[in-house]
Structure 1
Amino acid sequence: MFSIPGKSPVTITQAAERQIARLMAAKSASGLRIGLKKGGCAGMEYTMELAETASPGDEVVEQGAARVLIAPTAQMYLFGTEIDYETGMLESGFRFRNPNVTDACGCGESVSFAIAGNAAGAAPKL
């Protein structure tokens, strides 16, 4: 939908690829759907769910055994994002390095974007 021919809308690190493939295999899912919803201190939160099938309009990114499905309403906000999986002493989880983010809350759970037509820092309408 918002893709550039020959360019993947997101990149997936090897650590994220392994974790996505593990999650998919454990639940017999066909992919990990990533999206955005209103919420959090900064206005928007990333969403993730294992999906049985791709929905119409999903952008599909495949790498090795991993498959990421990007919800249509999130595609323009996620373009250029690197998806990583980090394991730490206190917590482990997916990390999104998104060049479109203009602000984030202190805990890193929510973000805001400045996309054409939105005031800087305003949450986009989904």
Structure 2
Amino acid sequence: MSIQITPAASDRMRAFLAKAPDAAGVRFAVKRMGCSGFGYVVDLAGAVGPDDQVLDIDGIRVVVDPKSLLLVDGTVIDFQRQGLNASFVFHNPNATGECGCGESFTVS
């Protein structure tokens, strides 16, 4: 299992975690949504489930559920600012297509 976090994404995640010291880490998952099928979810993890994979990436606990695990293996998570907009950006080698707005992706 391999997930990478760029320094910009790491800084953003640390800022969120600093405001929520009781969080179990950062949850990285996918859910069915958007025009292409799956969308990414990055949120604070309230708890770690018995089947969750917990990764220590640059000192950040990243929690991934088993259903998402196969779809996000190898993903690089970045954080970018463009004008007034700021968001996480995902470079996922498993994605075979993305919608035009970049909110969702497909896999084979």
Q: Aligned Cα RMSD in Å?
A: 1.3
For residue 60 of structure 1, the aligned residue among 54, 57, 72 is 54
Provide TM-score, normalisation by structure 1. Answer: 0.78
How big is the shift at 1:64? 3.5
Alignment: residue pair count: 107
Runs of 4+ in 1 over 4 A off after TM superposition: none
Matched-pair identity in %: 36
Partner in structure 2 of residue 18 of structure 1? 11
Write the distance in 2 (CA, Å) between the matches of 1:41 and 1:27: 32
SS in 2 for 1:92: strand
How big is the shift at 1:99? 0.5
Q: Deviations over 1:51-76 (max 9, x none)?
A: 13222222222234422111110001
Answer 1 or 2: higher relative contact order, Cα 8 Å, separation at least 6.
2
For residue 33 of structure 2, the aligned residue among 22, 36, 39 is 39
Contact 1:20 1:67 in 2 (8 A): no
Unaligned runs of 5+ in 2: none
SS in 2 for 1:101: coil
Larger deviation: 62-71 or 101-110? Answer: 62-71
Write the distance in 2 (CA, Å) between the matches of 1:83 and 1:57: 22
How big is the shift at 1:41? 0.6
SS in 2 for 1:57: coil
Partner in structure 2 of residue 27 of structure 1? 20
